[in-house]
Chains A and B, each alone.
Chain A
Amino acid sequence: MAATASMMQSFGPNLSAQNDLVPDWTRTEVSTGTTIMAVEYDGGVVIGADSRTTTGAYIANRVTDKLTPIHDRIFCCRSGSAADTQAIADVVAYQLGFHSIELDEPPLVETAAHLFKASCYRYREELTAGILVAGWDRRRGGQVYCVPIGGMLVRQPVSVGGSGSTYIYGFMDSNYKPSMSKEQCLELTATALTLAMERDGSSGGVVRLASISEDGVERRVILGNQLPKISTH
């Protein structure tokens, strides 16, 4: 390797981004590159996520759990900066727990979603967080709320998020039908996540799924070799 003039610079804060002597993962923020997805069905929701956390090109955690419980029947799927989303989820879980005790009944998914929106919107300049809030409550059944970067809030029957989501919009639009069963939703989510993980470098690892209904939360993991096989050249 030829030592060029540019590599003779002193070490320390002046290190250029191209310098190979210091790996870029010591300087890059930890991000959940990610693909996340949430689908409503009659009686509950199905949520799913990949399991890769990256710092630059290094995979800091290949078995991350991006499906975070906020309350007994309410989960959130996190994408964007790992630190930001963990911090927001902690704050919302605290606020929601307190609110639920005051109310003396399980909180509404809509309430959780609005709490997320409040934090994401107020601190929108400082945060990089794209969150899907999904759960079940007695008033409205299964619900999915999307709180993307910027802090908007919208309810959707099916939603995807994270860097890998761009690749599966077409698949989701063509394969989702209203009134699917829980099994169909699980299959749709697993296939969609697999497709995204094939194409997005920041998504990968295993597929984590959870289904939330009146009866509770059922979690499962699909390991790499058990993922649905896609027929590609």
Chain B
Amino acid sequence: LSEKNEPEWLSEEVKTGTTILAIEFDGGVVLGSDSRVSAGASVVNRVMNKLSQLHDKIYCALSGSAADAQTIAEVVNYQLDVHSMEIGEDPQVRSAATLVRNISYKYKEELSAHLIVAGWDRRKGGQVYATLNGLLTRQPFAVGGSGSSYVYGFVDAEYRKGMSKEECQKFVVSTLSLAMNRDGSSGGVAYLVTIDEHCTEEKVILGNDLPTFYDQ
């Protein structure tokens, strides 16, 4: 009996194929992600929430290797808790992003995960930081994951400065839907997190409620 008879998902690494994005508006941020986790061609989790909380008003979006991304998020969550107790107030979004960047950069050869950090703090309001490969840069919006390639054109064309919270949410949902339609490693439901001064709202949009396009 050859070894080849075992199902491939036992030997394939588990990846969050993924589409993730975060966008800032005046007064907060919106984060979005799909929910598919794949091991080779198998979908091992079709409802995974890839928006992970780092602090009350700071979230991060996970992509790449599921294990690496989750571990980075957990470690930074711990480090942020300690840090916020030390300074006696809520941490800045840039601090969280810096902690993520420090791990991504130091272990860049061993890890293969990209986290987008976004949140709200009192000093600078809504902020989105990209930490790909160990860099740190603040952007009005950031996309990531395998599905992001297919929607670069869409986000470049549709993004406008000064969008409202509702427009940002619609933008995120449309972008996720388009990416999930084209990327085999993205799919399932869409998770949305909206963070502003007053509240942090988590929302799920089921598959059949996502926007549809001309060929569906």
Contact = CB atoms under 8 A, between A and B. Distances in A.
Interface of A: 166-178, 191-192, 195-196, 198-199, 230-233
Contact of B214 (A170, A178, A198, A199): A178
Given A170-B151, A199-B152, A231-B159, 11 more contacts: A168-B153, A169-B153, A170-B152, A170-B153, A173-B213, A173-B214, A173-B215, A174-B154, A174-B174, A195-B152, A232-B159
Interface string B171-188: 000110011011000000
A224 to B, nearest CB: 17
Contacts of B156: 171, 195, 198-199, 230, 232
Q: Which 4 A-B pairs have the closest CB atoms?
A: A170-B151, A170-B154, A168-B153, A171-B153
Most chain A CB inside 10 Å of its own CB: which residue of B150, B155, B156, B214: B156
B157 A191 contact: yes
Nearest to A199: B152
Contacts of B174: 174
B84 interface: no
B198 interface: no
Nearest to A168: B153
A171 B149 contact: no
A55 to B, nearest CB: 24
A52 to B, nearest CB: 17
B182 A173 contact: yes
B214 A177 contact: yes
Contact of B178 (A174, A178, A192, A195): A174
Contacts, number: 68
Nearest to B178: A170
Nearest to B211: A174
B182 A170 contact: yes
Contacts of B154: 168, 170-171, 173-174
Contact of A233 (B139, B153, B179): B139
Given A231-B160, A232-B159, A233-B139, A173 B153 contact: no
Contacts of B215: 173
Nearest to B152: A167
Question: Which residue, of A168, A173, A177, A195, has the highest number of chain B Cβ atoms within 10 A?
Answer: A173
A199 B153 contact: yes
Given A230-B156, A231-B160, A169 B178 contact: yes
A42 to B, nearest CB: 15
Q: Which of A170, A171, A176, A196 has the most CB of B within 10 A?
A: A170
Nearest to B140: A233
B161 interface: yes
B149 A166 contact: yes
A178 B213 CA distance: 11
Contacts of A177: 214
A187 B139 CA distance: 29
A173 B154 CA distance: 9
A192 B181 contact: no
Contact of A230 (B140, B150, B151, B157): B157
A178 B175 CA distance: 21
A231 B161 contact: yes
A35 B215 CA distance: 22
A76 to B, nearest CB: 23
A167 B159 contact: no
